[in-house]
Chains A and B, each alone.
Chain A
Amino acid sequence: MNALAPRFEAIDLSAQKGEQWLFENIGFTLHAGTWLQVQGDNGSGKTTLLRMLAGLSRSPTGSVRWCNDNIRDEPEGFHRALMYLGHQLGLKEELSALENLGVASHLAQQVLHTPRALAALGELGLEGREHLPLRVLSQGQKRRVALAKLMSLSADLWILDEPFVALDGQGLAVLLAAMQAHLGQGGMLIYTSHHSVDLGDIPGWALRLTA
């Protein structure tokens, strides 16, 4: 078996809310170039599951493995390969889009040249707004800055929590194209959405959480 081929595995995850089990025995394996959509009603535990997969919260049972290493034991290699976009965007309102991307690239320990960052922002229709503080941008535009981060930094695994929220038609199209390009380059994608998304003939699965 090729040890270099990235592989993401979830084994026997579960979550409890009070006395009730949100979900139990969740397990899957994701290979290069495949995606997983987590579906479920409001409150069914989609965000909880995604946070577990990213390593932000713990599952009382089971484990999450990246290239056969438990992400609890070897977080650094996993975090280098991971890009997580949650409900909160992780951007600073007082900083401009460009400054936010700069900080993000340092946190990801990657080199991001300004032209590359500007190109990504331009592609998302933020041309001319690169130097404005984020607080003057609209909700959808802030989302776009977060997406520019995804597109300008490289990561093997994207975990996106409701990435389509607050985006308009054109934003949706750009994100969809970015997802397809990411998968085409051998990346992996896990996302939640209430939209039905057409990723063409790229292999992937849907995981339905039932409360």
Chain B
Amino acid sequence: MNGFWSLLKRDLTLAARHKTEVLTGLFFMVVVASLFPLAMGPEMALLKRIAPGVLWIGALLSTLLGLPRLFEGDWRDGSLEQMALSPVGLVPLVCAKISAHWILSGLPLVLLAPVLSLQFDLPADLQMTLMLGLLLGTPVLSSLGAIGAALTLGVRGGGVLLSLLVLPLFVPVLVFGAGAIEAQSAGLGVQAHVSVLSAMLLLSVFLSPFACAAALHVALD
């Protein structure tokens, strides 16, 4: 467990010393969410309708933005070799990397969501649903994305390939995340959507580190 915390702390320290990389994703999200109301005009009903979709697509793309760099730095400077040779094992260490990625890219989005949704005139209860959806959905994006990042490590033009690999996997999260807000504003309960998102969360968080570790071993070979 020590190895896990140590690596998590290391990644957060690295991010604190390289703030631009973290802020790029957040800034992207803010810009996307702010451009839509400007482009669509001030019609409240329309903005309210497109809000879930816009905010979720923004979250998805901003997560994708940081993914190619998830393992690349460690791969280039040999840290990944040292992790693969650590008695801690690659699986807990990959968990630490994914957690750090979520804390730096997913969590800020969750916290930012209510502020951004003000521009779309979302009522308070829908804001809560949006936050809950993002809270459950962004870890899924991080852990599924990590598999793609591990598979495309060291591949030339890996960034494009990564998007092609990962975006289809993100679709269910998008459908159920945005769907939850849609369902609530239509007066239906959100429980079904939340349950499905939670199931996806458990499954991806549990399985993805093993897939990542296997892919990283191949990348190192």
Contacts and interface: CB of A to CB of B under 8 A. Distances in A.
A106 B92 CA distance: 13
Interface string A43-78: 000000000001111100000000000000001110
B87 A76 contact: yes
Nearest to B217: A56
Contacts of A133: 17
A93 interface: yes
A42 interface: no
Contacts of B81: 56, 84, 86, 88, 90
A94 interface: yes
Contact of A89 (B10, B14, B78): B78
Interface in B72-101: 76-79, 81-89, 93
A133 B17 CA distance: 10
B212 to A, nearest CB: 17
The contact size tier of chain B is: 20 to 34
Nearest to A82: B85
The contact size tier of chain A is: 20 to 34
A109 B14 contact: no
B14 A92 contact: yes
A102 interface: yes
Contact of A94 (B17, B78, B84): B17
Interface string B8-34: 001001100110000000000000000
B221 interface: yes
A206 interface: no
Closest 4 CB pairs of A and B: A88-B78, A106-B6, A90-B78, A90-B82
Interface of A: 54-58, 75-77, 79-80, 82, 84, 86-95, 99, 102-104, 106-109, 133
Interface of B: 2-3, 5-7, 10, 13-14, 17-18, 76-79, 81-89, 93, 220-221
30 contacts: A55-B85, A76-B87, A77-B87, A79-B86, A82-B85, A84-B82, A86-B81, A87-B78, A88-B76, A88-B77, A88-B78, A89-B78, A90-B77, A91-B78, A91-B79, A92-B10, A93-B77, A94-B18, A95-B10, A99-B10, A103-B6, A103-B7, A103-B10, A104-B82, A106-B5, A107-B83, A108-B86, A108-B87, A109-B86, A109-B87
